[in-house]
Structure 1
Amino acid sequence: MRMTKKRLLVLMPILIAAVIVFLYYENNAIGITQYRLGSDKLPGGFESYRIVQLTDLHSKSFGKDQSTITRKVKKLKPDLIVMTGDLVDSKRYNTEVSLMLMRKMTEIAPVYYVTGNHEWGSRFPALAKGLRELGVHVMRNESETIKLGDGEIRIVGVDDPTFNHEAYDDVSRIKQHIAVALEDVDQSQTHYTILLSHRPELFAEYASQRFDLTFSGHAHGGQVRLPFLGGLVAPGQGFLPKYDGGKYTAGGSTMIVSRGLGNSIIPQRLFNRPEIVLVELARAD
């Protein structure tokens, strides 16, 4: 039976409304992805160490004063929060909403931050100053140790390659950034070492440097995710990116790539909701 014109006029607004609601949900309903990792390099004297990763906010707001993200992160009870770049967007450089999120996060746990490609430019020094005033650890090719249980772990943070125009390409730039971050580190030490670096496509380099765990973002989950194929396209990787989101291993190195929170050039996510990552570390004997 053919649909009558009257019935079609009734159904069309309902279908349009359903599509709008679905697209809004895909862009704004934050999911939680959890991983548990063990290593005999971790010190003893603790049961678990919970790390929340946020990335690629791109100046987006989730609720008034970032209340939606804040509520979700609080429930995860993190010991550490890492922000792996693109806190702001180069075209919507809204420092107010970005710093609001970081302010809320510092009230929950220590926060460590590294740059993404969108922070690059003349406005970054003011952003970095605001972050430091909030107590955020702005890691610009730096290394710190964090007390854990009866020992320590090391956290290393490097700038996105866009912040270094001396080296020829992204690989040589990131090598230079890592070298600067580790120049005062005693290489004979065997700390469990976490790297914060925005670019997942450089995982081969992170693995070659023997980082135990890397947190990365940048790929936005491939923006649109297709059944059986994964992400459709990601900056720096092109179509059907290898590192679009999830857990990757190479040798003894693990990389966690978050699908991120906001959008940039492409304004809509599809089958790829915003994501908060929780990694729980435990000693493996």
Structure 2
Amino acid sequence: MTRKGERRKGLWRVLALLVVLALALAGKAWSDTMGDPQVRHTEFVHKGLPGGSSPVRIALLSDIHVAGPDMPPERLVRIVAQVNALEPDLVLIAGDLVSDKMLATRVYPAEEIVAPLAGLKARLGVIAVPGNHDHWFDMPGLAAELDKHGIILLANSARVAGPLVIGGLDDDFTRRADLRQTLDAMAPLRGARVLLSHSPDPFPDVPNSVPLVLAGHTHCGQIAYPWGGAPATMSDYGDRYACGRVDEHGKALVVGAGLGTSLAPVRLFTPPEIWLIEVRPASR
């Protein structure tokens, strides 16, 4: 074979390898975008719970982003069934029910976005906070639909849920969060303190009297590197609070990767997540 023929053969091998890699990457992206959410588990010992009391199982959902093509209401119905199979005591939704991404193939009205969430079953109820996309879309309409289906919306306010006091921040990304107002709303209520926020960024300012913070917003980057980390996290703290559980200064933060997508309808190396958090007393 001539040198020219060898070079041509080598070029075809490189092109074939690139095609295989591209197909593998596309398959991974499809799986990460459209696959069933992974269930991640963690335990948190809460000193605010009386000794001997039963643990509370919290299902944390975030960034549902109902919109076509990747998160139609029909898919959310299936995810709700998956959550119910976990038998949580309480479901907390950390904002962004809707996606208004430019590449959306369909944008749904508020009633169709919220309706599947009516199927969530938890003995202590379902509580949500607003996200930035909710405010940009139609927060009053979404709030009305949540109320119609018995889902509590907290925005710089608080609510008792069994042995827990849930403080719910309004969205920090759109500068609506008021931590002091939320803490003041929690103050007269009796129970172990938990804070629900769309963004993880308020975490450093949360006092140790509220030792557990649950959030979303970052999508764990949505499109991440296979070795960890991501080009962007939509957090002022970069990768510090971008994904998973962080224990810092006597407090714990859990940041979910979310369920849907924003900007582009693609996830890569960041599969959708449901977090199941068992909050238990120091002694049983």
Q: 1:19 to 1:106 in 2, by over 3 A?
A: same
> CA–CA distance in 1 between the matches of 2:115 and 2:17?
42
SS at match of 1:278: strand
Q: 1:8 to 1:250 in 2, by over 3 A?
A: closer
> CA–CA distance in 2 between the matches of 1:145 and 1:109?
9
Partner in structure 1 of residue 134 of structure 2? 119
> CA–CA distance in 2 between the matches of 1:191 and 1:179?
18
Q: How many residues are matched?
A: 267
Please state how far the C-alpha of 1:209 moved relative to its aligned partner.
5.9
Comparing 9-18 with 73-82, greater Cα deviation is found at 9-18
> CA–CA distance in 2 between the matches of 1:3 and 1:185?
68
Please state how far the C-alpha of 1:11 moved relative to its aligned partner.
9.4
TM-score, normalised to structure 2's length? 0.81
TM-score, normalised to structure 1's length? 0.81
Q: 2:83 aligns with which of 73, 81, 93?
A: 73
Please state how far the C-alpha of 1:55 moved relative to its aligned partner.
0.4
Q: Does 1:156 align with 2:167?
A: yes
Partner in structure 1 of residue 184 of structure 2? 183
The unaligned stretches of length 5 or more in structure 2 are 1-5
> CA–CA distance in 1 between the matches of 2:225 and 2:22?
23
Please state how far the C-alpha of 1:65 moved relative to its aligned partner.
5.4
Which one has the bigger strand percentage? 1
Partner in structure 2 of residue 59 of structure 1? 66
1:1-285 to 2 correspondences below 5 Å = 2=9, 18-29=24-35, 30-60=37-67, 61=71, 64=74, 66-91=76-101, 93-94=107-108, 95-106=110-121, 110-121=125-136, 123-147=138-162, 152-161=163-172, 170=175, 174=177, 177-186=178-187, 191-206=191-206, 208=207, 210-237=209-236, 241-285=239-283
> CA–CA distance in 2 between the matches of 1:270 and 1:85?
21
Q: 1:9 to 1:200 in 2, by over 3 A?
A: closer
- Please report the RMSD computed on the Cα atoms of aligned residues, expressed in angstroms: 3.1
Q: 1:53 to 1:18 in 2, by over 3 A?
A: same
SS at match of 2:194: strand
SS at match of 1:135: coil
SS at match of 1:233: coil
Q: Which amino acid aligns with 1:232?
A: P
SS at match of 1:234: coil
How much identity, in percent, do the aligned residues show?
28
> CA–CA distance in 1 between the matches of 2:32 and 2:167?
33
SS at match of 1:69: helix
Q: 1:122 to 1:17 in 2, by over 3 A?
A: closer
Q: 1:226 to 1:4 in 2, by over 3 A?
A: closer
Contact 2:48/2:192 (CA < 8 Å) preserved in 1? Answer: yes
CA offset digits 1:208-252 (Å, max 9, x no partner):
3631211101111012333554233111338x5221111112222
Q: 1:213 to 1:15 in 2, by over 3 A?
A: closer
Q: Which amino acid aligns with 1:39?
A: H
Q: Which amino acid aligns with 2:116?
A: L
The unaligned stretches of length 5 or more in structure 1 are 164-169
Please state how far the C-alpha of 1:67 moved relative to its aligned partner.
3.5
> CA–CA distance in 1 between the matches of 2:273 and 2:186?
33
Contact 2:215/2:254 (CA < 8 Å) preserved in 1? Answer: yes
